[in-house]
Amino acid sequence: MALPNSNIIIPRRSIAGMEGMWAKMWDPPTESNPITPERLNPTNPVPDFVGTLIGRPPATPNTLDLELLDGLTLPAWDGVNIDFMTFGNKDIPLASGGTFPGTTIRVPRGVIFHATTKGKGPPPHTIHWHGMEPTPMNDGVGHTSMEIGDYTYQWQPNFIGSYFYHCHRNTVQHFEMGLYGFLIIEPPDAYTPGGGNNPGGYPRRTAANTSAFPQFPGFQAGEISPADPHAYTIPYDYEALWVCDDVDSFWHNVVGQEAKAFYPSILTRPGVDDQFFHGHFHDFNADYWYITGVSVDGGYQGSTGTIPPNVVVPMDLNSGVTGMQVSINAQTGKTILVRCLCASYNSMRVTFPVDVVIIAWDGRALGVPPFGRYSRAYKVPAGTSIRMSVARRFDALIRSTTSVNDFATVEFINTRGENVPGREQIVKTALIPIVIN
Partner 1 sequence: MKRRDFIKYGMGGLATLVVGTKMPWLMDNPAYAAVQTQNLNFTITDAVKEMVTHEPGNNQATCYFWIYRSNSPAFPPDCPGPQIYTTVGDTINISITNELDEDHALFIPGMYNSGPIAPGATVTGTFRPNRAGSYLYYDNLNTPVNRVMGLHGALIVMPANLHGTRAGGSHRLTPYDRPTPAVQQLFDDFGRAPWWPGLAWEQGDPAANPPTPPFRQYVWLNHQASPVLFNEVGNAAPGTGARIPANFMDGFISDPFIATSNDPRLLLTVPAVPLNDTFNRLPHFFTICGQSGHFSHNHPAITPMNRVGEPCVVHVLNAGLWTHSMHLHANHFYITCVNGRVQSNLLWVDTFTSKPMDIYDMVIPYMRPPDIPNVRGIGRADAGLPAGLGTTWPPQQEFDVHQPKVGTTKISFLNPGTLIDIAQRQSPLVYPMHDHSEASQTAQGGNYNCGLIAGMTIIGDRNTPGWREFPRDADFDMMLTLGNGAPVTKPGGGTDP
Among the listed residues 79, 370, 401, 402, the single contact to partner 1 using CB under 8 A: 370
Q: How far is the CB of 266 from partner 1 (least distance, A)?
A: 7
The three-class DSSP label of residue 152 is strand
- The stretch among 61-69, 90-98, 137-145, 296-304 that binds partner 1 (CB under 8 A) is 137-145
- Name which of 112 and 312 has its Cβ closer to partner 1: 112
Interface mask toward partner 1 for 301-340; x: CB under 8 A: ----------------------------------------
The two beta strands, 393-398 and 336-342, are antiparallel
Q: Is 150 in the site for partner 1 (CB under 8 A)?
A: no
Enumerate residues 384-403 that contact partner 1 by CB under 8 A. Answer: 387-392
- Name which of 90 and 168 has its Cβ closer to partner 1: 168
CB burial class (10 A; 0-12, 13-18, 19+) of residue 126? buried
**Three-state SS letters, 304-363:** EEECCCCCECCHHHCCCCCCCECCEEECCCCCEEEEEEECCCCEEEEECCCCEEEEEECC
Alpha carbon of residue 189 to chain centroid: 23
**Distance of alpha carbon 166 from alpha carbon 357, whole angstroms:** 28
- Name which of 117 and 414 has its Cβ closer to partner 1: 414
Enumerate residues 53-82 that contact partner 1 by CB under 8 A. Answer: none
Q: Is 38 in the site for partner 1 (CB under 8 A)?
A: yes
The two beta strands, 393-398 and 356-361, are antiparallel
Among the listed residues 192, 212, 331, 371, the single contact to partner 1 using CB under 8 A: 371
Among the listed residues 32, 39, 332, 384, the single contact to partner 1 using CB under 8 A: 39
Residue pair 304/298 in contact by the 8 Å Cβ criterion: yes
- The stretch among 74-82, 131-139, 213-221, 235-243 that binds partner 1 (CB under 8 A) is 131-139
32-130-95 Cα angle (round to 5)? 70
Q: Is 221 in the site for partner 1 (CB under 8 A)?
A: no
Among the listed residues 264, 302, 314, 383, the single contact to partner 1 using CB under 8 A: 264
The two beta strands, 426-436 and 404-413, are antiparallel
- The stretch among 64-72, 87-95, 198-206, 365-373 that binds partner 1 (CB under 8 A) is 365-373
Q: Is 194 in the site for partner 1 (CB under 8 A)?
A: no
Number of residues engaging partner 1 in binding (CB under 8 A): 128
Q: How far is the CB of 267 from partner 1 (least distance, A)?
A: 8
Query: Please, what's the b/e burial string for 392-408 (b: 16 or more CB within 10 A of its CB; e: otherwise)?
Result: bbbbbbbbbeeebebbb
